[in-house]
Amino acid sequence: MKMEYKVTTKNEMDTIEIAQNFESEKFPNMIICLDGELGSGKTVFTKGIANALGVKESITSPTFTIIKEYDGELPLYHMDVYRLNGSVEGTGIEEYFHKGGVVVIEWADMIHDILPEERLDIKFKVVGENSRVLILKPHGKKYEELCEAVL
């Protein structure tokens, strides 16, 4: 039975705080997979990670570029794979899983087949105008320990 954690956020600040907590336990090649409808907080979560990593640039969803790289304490690789329609050929996405950075993938369900076995899945559910329920599923011991440490 896979563990699952649920966190309710009341606003964007809550979402950012949770992301910053995850960043505080970061490790190289950390993979965080985000799923949820448009506007559910995926990019907001990524902003929280970026802020905590010390990334100076503003974070926007890399819808058209697919992958954006940011310099921080660890590099941040922010991906939005929505437009790939599941076809990752020629994108080099898999290479990023081993580049020693923190990888955040929006719409990760769409590339489920190539995702590393060990990762953290976070599903965002809109439950109110600003409220969200985040369902976290760790895959692998490292990610279970990460959830235990942060939540």
Give the CATH number, domain containing residue 35.
3.40.50.300
Domain of 136, in residue numbers: 5-150
Whether the per-residue pLDDT at 1 is higher than 70: the answer is no
pLDDT digits (tens, 9 = 90+) for 42-101: 999 999 999 999 999 999 888 788 999 999 999 999 999 998 987 888 889 999 999 999
**Stated pTM of the model:** 0.95
Average pLDDT, stretch 116-132?
97
Average pLDDT, stretch 2-13?
94
Give the mean pLDDT of the chain. Answer: 94
Q: Cα Rg for the chain, rounded, in angstroms?
A: 14
Number of domains in the chain: 1
Write out the two tokens for 63. 């819808």
Q: Give 3-state DSSP helix, strand, coil % of the chain, rounded to 5.
A: 30, 30, 40
Average pLDDT, stretch 107-114?
94
Q: What is the pLDDT of residue 64?
A: 81
